Structure 1
Amino acid sequence: MSEGKLPEWLTEEDDGSMTVSFADLKNKPKLDGTEVSSLTMREPTVADELAIEKIKSIGERESQAIANLTEQSPETIRGLTMRQYGRLQDAYGVFLG
């Protein structure tokens, strides 16, 4: 992802959250058995970062943060494909960048 310009599938909302679209993917995520075309990720707070600080694995820490910020269970996030998860990683990276 180039700096300054968000990909077409990522939209910054007025409240600072990010909407991650999966509409262009053939394989859309399923949440509780329902296919979704987008997920919203709220902007993390310092408290969010402190809450995951004790998790030793970097991958687990990131997936837990993404789960919290999208209001999904960690199991749901772990069940995403890497392409789907990669989009959420990019959105999270915008907040940290």
Structure 2
Amino acid sequence: MDEFESMILKMQRTGDLDKARWLESIDKKISPMFKQKIIANDKSVLRELILPSWLTWNILRTWAMRGAETSRCIFCQKEKDEGILFKGHFVCKDCVEEFVKKI
């Protein structure tokens, strides 16, 4: 169970059934174009979409990352296989090596 599913269960336990239903049907409410922007960590999506005030960026990003099979680097925005996770974000091997050279 990931963070997104645990959030839905927590809302159901506390009686926030409307919020839980909204999260369960989020795939129908947010288009794939916006989902790709969320995966790319583009926070301009928050201004473009009308979202509930209780929905945080972390919940939205967790939902978007659930279906992402490939890893996209947060610096170069390229999909790579090799890299590291730094504070929950993927950084490709090339960017890590470039960063280490600058230090």
Give the TM-score, by structure 2 length: 0.29
The structure number with the bigger radius of gyration is 2
Give the TM-score, by structure 1 length: 0.30
For CA contacts below 8 A with separation 6 or more, give which structure has more relative contact order: 1
